Structure 1
């Protein structure tokens, strides 16, 4: 949106509609629900509020889903769970054009509000658009583009919305996320690795509203304080979907099965090709350690709500960095490495028992393949160390 368009809209927002006496009688709020996209930050869809005032020729979208990649230390803030999002606005046609280019459907539901409720909702959004108010700390479960809309709408209706469903839903948070990752196997793997046992807690129906499609469903089945439905009429398709989803890229399962086969080959040729096997082992342990450090950061430092208590750190762990270091020190510490390897193998056993037998955390099938791969590598390293110990003695 160019500078002059912004000035025009701000003029309408803050002057023409800032006073109730001048408010139009022909105005409508719509809940906008956008179809999930292909990028990881669009996988779960998007929500916004459309405000249409035909009398004053104003048709804009209030959007809580904006962020700036150029923010200082953006990557650090994102990983640590301290990302700031902001409320923005744009003309409705411009908003829809962005989804048209991405070939994503856009749906809208008319909100059934009284004139007073429209006044309150509009005024709250107008105040939130001020520079000192528009930025908020993003939380993908409790403070995102969908939950902010529920919050604003509930406030306008004096927190008296009657929801069809209350209490616990039949879904865990992981099951809710799974519904959107069928065609995105690499993204699913990354999300499964990052999210811990908290993700397997059952979500309440209110908590499911962090997903735009669940917010839309909740709105269409809810009633306002006057007993009337919160949404009016049928869902209107503002922009039709014109592309079929297909699985993206290569299925990672095949790649990790190949890695398991490579680990078995390394074990088989460990004595005959010791120098080559040693290089491969060092590379495997280094990758493990780097991934483990990322998971530990998410688990123990990040404030993301579902990354704690992550049993995947028993498979990908910074402890393997010790193996990389000791491997560079020659045969002097080979016997000490045995203790590290035994500790790591014990961790893999605990991982398998707690996830497979006791079901403490739901784990991606690829993580089990990865655990099997590193179990073979650890045993290979242990056998090589045992042989080295005999030689040094």
Structure 2
């Protein structure tokens, strides 16, 4: 249905002439921002939006959006992992979109915009040009070039730059990291994994313009825009109320939960320095192996995102100071301590001490006001573990 409609809109103008939106007088058109609230599945948590073009005479109404991707395209998974995400513009009847999102329990809101005839004509021409197969594709980026930033930019262009003029100098409310954690908080493990993998890019100072990468933020932003003293939104209608629990207003504070988890994990890591009991050593080996493997794999993952992919939001991640691929080198040294009397591996001792030092350095960097990454929660998690491991290797009872 979607691709059929694209072809009809883009290539078969004549058959659609009677439908209205292609060649109706601009005075007969209404332009609205359609916002669809967050869903339950992780890729739905950021919401979605579209630009609706409605012919008030024929009643024909089409919603244009920029959120289509194809799992079946050649090399999709590999390209996705590398950060090469091919998305497309799409079009659907407004009612079919409303029915779809209502069926998922997501809210649907229409904001009719006060565009003059020249602005409507400009926007319509651009959308019809953009949806042609040769123009519809684009390289998706989670934060700076997504389905909402495209809608924002189309509106800004039609309005002669009025949105960017008002929003670029206005501070944003939350960073990319905070918005991501807030929206993903219903799936804690996924939220934690994303937070660990985000680098300094996610903590950059925000403007209202950048923060409009989210559909709900764009929806709220246009509600307060005034052009030449008149509100941009002339009619704001909730078409379908949400049936799902909305995301929290603020991102969760991860500092104390991760510090608590680090302390709990550090207790068995200190056992070889406290007792000779075989059972305690077995607990140490199991816990130490889990932590070292986690730290090493996390380090490899972050290093791979930085060096092998185009996921710029993961580049230069300072969490590598706390979770290094070198952590895997201490696993044999941990297993040497499962029996009393065995000497500690020098390699394991040195890697552990260096990891503790790197973690302390990373923690001290947070004293610098302009430090670019807000990764304190993960440092609070790692520091007790590296401290306990270092203590055990230095004060073993053999």
TM category, shorter: 0.7 to 0.9
Q: Name the CA distance, whole Å, in 2 between partners of 1:302 and 1:182.
A: 26
Q: Report the CA distance between 1:99 and its aligned residue.
A: 1.6
Residue number in structure 1 paired with 2:206: 203
Q: Name the CA distance, whole Å, in 2 between partners of 1:3 and 1:337.
A: 58
**Alignment partner of 1:295 is 2:308:** no
Deviates more, 1:331-340 or 1:117-126: 331-340
Cα pair distance change 1:266/1:22, threshold 3 Å: closer
Maintained 8 Å contact 1:62/1:90: yes
Residue number in structure 2 paired with 1:55: 57
Maintained 8 Å contact 2:212/2:221: yes
Matches within 5 A, 1:29-178: 29-161=31-163, 163-173=165-175, 174-178=177-181
Residue number in structure 2 paired with 1:243: 244
Cα pair distance change 1:138/1:21, threshold 3 Å: closer
Cα pair distance change 1:353/1:20, threshold 3 Å: closer
- Picking from 187, 198, 215, the partner of 1:212 is 215
**Alignment partner of 1:194 is 2:194:** no
Maintained 8 Å contact 1:288/1:318: yes
After TM superposition, the score normalised by the length of structure 1 is: 0.82
Cα pair distance change 1:15/1:349, threshold 3 Å: same
Q: Report the CA distance between 1:370 and its aligned residue.
A: 3.9
Q: Report the CA distance between 1:322 and its aligned residue.
A: 1.9
Q: Report the CA distance between 1:65 and its aligned residue.
A: 1.4
SS in 2 for 1:52: strand
Q: Name the CA distance, whole Å, in 2 between partners of 1:20 and 1:90.
A: 13
Residue number in structure 2 paired with 1:309: 316
Q: Report the CA distance between 1:241 and its aligned residue.
A: 1.4
Deviates more, 1:181-190 or 1:309-318: 181-190
Maintained 8 Å contact 1:220/1:229: no
Instruction: Note the residue ranges of structure 1 that are not aligned, 5 or more in a row.
Output: 388-393
After TM superposition, the score normalised by the length of structure 2 is: 0.81
Maintained 8 Å contact 1:49/1:63: yes
Cα pair distance change 1:99/1:321, threshold 3 Å: same
SS in 1 for 2:323: coil
Cα pair distance change 1:103/1:72, threshold 3 Å: same
Deviates more, 1:145-154 or 1:162-171: 162-171
Q: Report the CA distance between 1:38 and its aligned residue.
A: 2.7
Maintained 8 Å contact 2:295/2:325: yes
Maintained 8 Å contact 1:171/1:203: yes
Q: Report the CA distance between 1:305 and its aligned residue.
A: 3.5
Residue number in structure 2 paired with 1:391: none
Residue number in structure 2 paired with 1:351: 362
- How many residues are aligned here? 381
Deviates more, 1:61-70 or 1:258-267: 258-267
Q: Name the CA distance, whole Å, in 1 between partners of 2:22 and 2:213.
A: 36
Q: What's the Cα RMSD here? A: 3.6
Maintained 8 Å contact 1:37/1:102: yes
